[in-house]
């Protein structure tokens, strides 16, 4: 049995014992990785400017930028962009909403996170997950 849910740009298919996600997550991951990488380079260049000029502001600003970008890169690499996920690999499914953005977090057994953003109708998806997977694997959290 195949159940399809629309995204604003893509779709989620629940097909038998797997979840198929068609979205632009790979493209987003490359773009954000590049932004964080270049931010780290900028932080390193700011630190090097401190060694050249002795400006304390350059030291603290460069350290802050480097730490934020490196921690962002580490957290970003803990995400998954797989388009096919077996249901045996799913640890939990969480529906979230931050401000007006609705998204589905699929936590895998390897503790990696697959985030599906820009959901169109989360209530239908929530009902489908509750009826087919039970309430032990779904958590609904609305954050503002």
Closest C-alpha among 26, 38, 40 to residue 68: 40
What's the whole-number mean pLDDT along residues 15-26? 89
- The string over 3-14, giving b where at least 16 C-beta atoms fall within 10 Å of a residue's C-beta and e elsewhere, is eebebeebebeb
What pLDDT does 143 receive? 45
Beta strands in 43-112 (DSSP E): 84-86, 90-98, 101-108
Question: Is the confidence at residue 79, as pLDDT, over 70?
Answer: yes
83-123 residue pLDDT tens: 999 988 988 888 888 887 888 889 999 989 998 888 877 78
Distance of alpha carbon 64 from alpha carbon 72, whole angstroms: 12
What pLDDT does 126 receive? 81
How many residues are listed for the chain in this entry? 144
What is the Rg, in whole angstroms, of the alpha carbon atoms belonging to the chain?
19
pTM value? 0.76
What pLDDT does 103 receive? 84
What pLDDT does 142 receive? 46
Closest C-alpha among 89, 48, 125 to residue 138: 125
Contact assessment for residue 106 and residue 125, using Cβ atoms and an 8 Å cutoff? no
What pLDDT does 41 receive? 96
Q: Where are the chain's structural domains?
A: 2-22+87-143, 29-77
31-66 residue pLDDT tens: 999 999 999 999 999 999 999 999 999 999 999 999
What pLDDT does 144 receive? 41
Question: Percent of the chain having pLDDT more than 70?
Answer: 92
């Amino acid at each position: 049995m195949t159940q399809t849910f629309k995204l604003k740009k893509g779709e989620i298919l629940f097909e038998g014992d797997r979840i198929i996600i068609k979205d632009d997550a790979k493209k987003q991951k490359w773009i954000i990785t590049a932004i964080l990488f270049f931010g780290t380079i900028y932080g390193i260049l700011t630190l090097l400017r401190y060694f050249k000029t002795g400006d304390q502001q350059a030291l603290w600003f460069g350290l802050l930028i480097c730490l934020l970008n490196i921690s962002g890169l580490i957290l970003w690499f803990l995400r998954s962009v797989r388009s096919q996920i077996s249901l045996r690999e799913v640890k939990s499914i969480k529906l979230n909403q931050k401000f007006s953005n609705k998204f589905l977090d699929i936590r895998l057994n390897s503790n990696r996170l697959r985030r599906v953003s820009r959901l169109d109708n989360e209530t239908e998806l929530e009902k489908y997950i509750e009826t087919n997977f039970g309430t032990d694997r779904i958590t609904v959290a609305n954050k503002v």
